[in-house]
Amino acid sequence: MRTVISTAFISLDGVVEGPGGEPGYRNSGWTFKEVEFVPEAFEIKEREQQESTAILMGRVSYEAFSPVWPDMAEFAHYKTMPKYVVSTTLTEDKLVSNWGETTILHSLDEVAALKETDGGPIIVHGSASLNRSLSDAGLIDRYHLLVFPLLLGAGKPLFSTTDKDTQKLKLIEHEVYSNGLQKQVFDVVR
């Protein structure tokens, strides 16, 4: 069984919307506008590229990343790995041709089936809605969180407000950086 890893830039109050400057969000770009950059805090991002064997994302994140990431040197490894987009509205003709193999999955059942295949970890970038659905369905195995010392208020949260049984997490790695950023890596306890 493959491991699904959710990776997120998240504010202290749980918001993941618009970290890189995506349009339409009042606090867009909060990761680089509000907190001093310290390179060591982002070591985990390079490690994710080296350790993951596929990318899973929702349609909105795919539409944001696919025009940009294929040509960015810092995401070169992602170009060669399979990408899976969970969407009921995306069609094959809307997929970019310069980002390698991309498969559209139409349901969480298809994500569950993908987890059952052979292969290494699957990384989930962005995709706030997808993350909430995956978590509620018990399909996330690990969280890689870079927690920013910010309170953003309104915005898309990483976690849903669904009434469900307690889900226990085990902290397996953590670090605090000089700018107040915290790395927290949790395994989901089953």
Q: Is the pTM of this model over 0.85?
A: yes
User: How much is the pLDDT for 170?
Assistant: 98
SS3 of 48, please? helix
**Dist. CA 13–CA 144, nearest whole Å:** 16
113-145 pLDDT per residue, tens: 999 999 999 999 989 999 999 999 999 999 999
Region 12-26 average pLDDT: 90
Arithmetic mean of pLDDT, 50-78:
92
Percent of the chain with pLDDT over 70: 100
Residues in the chain: 190
Give residue 23's pLDDT band: very low, low, confident or very high (50, 70, 90).
confident
Q: In whole numbers, what is the pLDDT of the chain averaged over residues?
A: 94
Q: What are phi and psi of 137, to 5 degrees?
A: -85, 0
